[in-house]
Protein backbone atom coordinates (compact mmCIF):
# COMPACT_ATOMS: atom_id res chain seq x y z
CA UNK A 1 0.00 0.00 0.00
CA UNK A 2 1.35 3.43 -0.87
CA UNK A 3 0.79 6.75 0.82
CA UNK A 4 -1.96 8.85 -0.67
CA UNK A 5 -2.07 12.64 -0.74
CA UNK A 6 -5.17 14.59 0.23
CA UNK A 7 -5.42 15.71 -3.40
CA UNK A 8 -5.38 12.09 -4.60
CA UNK A 9 -7.90 11.00 -1.98
CA UNK A 10 -10.24 13.87 -2.77
CA UNK A 11 -10.04 13.04 -6.48
CA UNK A 12 -10.75 9.37 -5.75
CA UNK A 13 -13.85 10.25 -3.71
CA UNK A 14 -14.95 12.59 -6.51
CA UNK A 15 -14.54 9.90 -9.19
CA UNK A 16 -16.32 7.19 -7.22
CA UNK A 17 -19.19 9.06 -5.62
CA UNK A 18 -19.75 12.47 -7.27
CA UNK A 19 -23.07 11.61 -8.90
CA UNK A 20 -24.76 10.27 -5.77
CA UNK A 21 -23.07 12.89 -3.57
CA UNK A 22 -24.35 15.75 -5.73
CA UNK A 23 -27.88 14.28 -5.66
CA UNK A 24 -27.77 13.98 -1.86
CA UNK A 25 -26.47 17.54 -1.46
CA UNK A 26 -24.91 19.33 1.44
CA UNK A 27 -27.64 18.81 4.08
CA UNK A 28 -27.85 15.04 3.56
CA UNK A 29 -24.09 14.65 3.39
CA UNK A 30 -23.63 16.70 6.53
CA UNK A 31 -26.03 14.40 8.36
CA UNK A 32 -24.02 11.35 7.24
CA UNK A 33 -20.85 13.06 8.48
CA UNK A 34 -22.43 13.73 11.87
CA UNK A 35 -23.58 10.10 12.10
CA UNK A 36 -20.03 8.93 11.41
CA UNK A 37 -18.65 11.34 14.01
CA UNK A 38 -21.03 9.75 16.50
CA UNK A 39 -19.78 6.30 15.57
CA UNK A 40 -16.20 7.52 15.97
CA UNK A 41 -17.07 8.90 19.41
CA UNK A 42 -18.45 5.51 20.43
CA UNK A 43 -15.37 3.74 19.13
CA UNK A 44 -13.06 6.17 20.95
CA UNK A 45 -14.99 5.54 24.15
CA UNK A 46 -14.54 1.79 23.71
CA UNK A 47 -10.78 2.30 23.22
CA UNK A 48 -10.45 4.67 26.17
CA UNK A 49 -6.97 5.42 27.57
CA UNK A 50 -5.87 2.90 30.16
CA UNK A 51 -7.85 0.15 28.48
CA UNK A 52 -6.23 -2.24 26.03
CA UNK A 53 -8.51 -2.38 22.99
CA UNK A 54 -9.19 -5.74 21.43
CA UNK A 55 -8.05 -6.21 17.83
CA UNK A 56 -11.68 -5.81 16.78
CA UNK A 57 -12.05 -2.53 18.70
CA UNK A 58 -8.80 -1.23 17.17
CA UNK A 59 -9.99 -2.19 13.68
CA UNK A 60 -13.34 -0.49 14.28
CA UNK A 61 -11.59 2.67 15.47
CA UNK A 62 -9.53 2.79 12.27
CA UNK A 63 -12.66 2.21 10.18
CA UNK A 64 -14.51 5.06 11.88
CA UNK A 65 -11.61 7.50 11.39
CA UNK A 66 -11.57 6.56 7.69
CA UNK A 67 -15.34 7.04 7.42
CA UNK A 68 -15.19 10.51 8.98
CA UNK A 69 -12.40 11.56 6.61
CA UNK A 70 -14.30 10.17 3.61
CA UNK A 71 -17.54 11.97 4.48
CA UNK A 72 -15.71 15.22 5.25
CA UNK A 73 -14.00 14.92 1.86
CA UNK A 74 -17.37 14.32 0.20
CA UNK A 75 -18.73 17.45 1.86
CA UNK A 76 -15.70 19.42 0.62
CA UNK A 77 -16.25 18.12 -2.92
CA UNK A 78 -19.92 19.08 -2.95
CA UNK A 79 -19.00 22.58 -1.80
CA UNK A 80 -16.04 23.08 -4.13
CA UNK A 81 -13.40 23.13 -1.39
CA UNK A 82 -9.90 21.98 -2.35
CA UNK A 83 -8.70 20.33 0.86
CA UNK A 84 -5.03 20.52 -0.14
CA UNK A 85 -5.33 24.29 -0.43
CA UNK A 86 -7.44 24.54 2.71
CA UNK A 87 -4.86 22.58 4.71
CA UNK A 88 -2.22 25.22 4.08
CA UNK A 89 -3.79 26.80 7.16
CA UNK A 90 -1.79 24.17 9.06
CA UNK A 91 1.09 23.41 6.71
CA UNK A 92 2.27 26.99 6.06
CA UNK A 93 4.50 27.94 8.98
CA UNK A 94 3.66 31.62 8.45
CA UNK A 95 -0.01 30.87 9.10
CA UNK A 96 0.41 28.50 12.04
CA UNK A 97 0.86 30.55 15.19
CA UNK A 98 0.39 29.11 18.66
CA UNK A 99 -2.00 26.42 19.81
CA UNK A 100 -5.52 26.32 21.17
CA UNK A 101 -5.93 25.28 24.78
45 in a structural domain: yes
Which sign does the torsion angle of CA 68, 93, 12, 77 carry? positive
**Residue 74 burial (CB count, 10 A):** 25
User: At residue 98, does pLDDT exceed 90?
Assistant: no
User: At residue 96, does pLDDT exceed 80?
Assistant: no
**Residue 22 burial (CB count, 10 A):** 13
Q: How far is the C-alpha of 101 from the C-alpha of 91, rounded, in Å?
A: 19
Mean pLDDT of the chain: 92
90 in a structural domain: no
Domain that holds residue 57: 25-81
**pLDDT tens track for 26-38:** 999 999 999 999 9
89 in a structural domain: no
| pLDDT bracket for residue 41 (50, 70, 90) | very high
29 burial level (CB within 10 Å; 0-12, 13-18, 19+): buried
What's the domain count of the chain?
1
What pLDDT is attached to residue 94? Answer: 80
87 in a structural domain: no
Q: Which pTM does this prediction carry? A: 0.87
| pLDDT bracket for residue 49 (50, 70, 90) | confident
Q: Specify the CATH number for the domain of residue 54.
A: 1.10.287.1080
Amino acid sequence: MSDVTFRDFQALIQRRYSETDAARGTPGTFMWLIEEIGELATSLHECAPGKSPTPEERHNLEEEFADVIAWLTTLANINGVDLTSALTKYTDEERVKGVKD
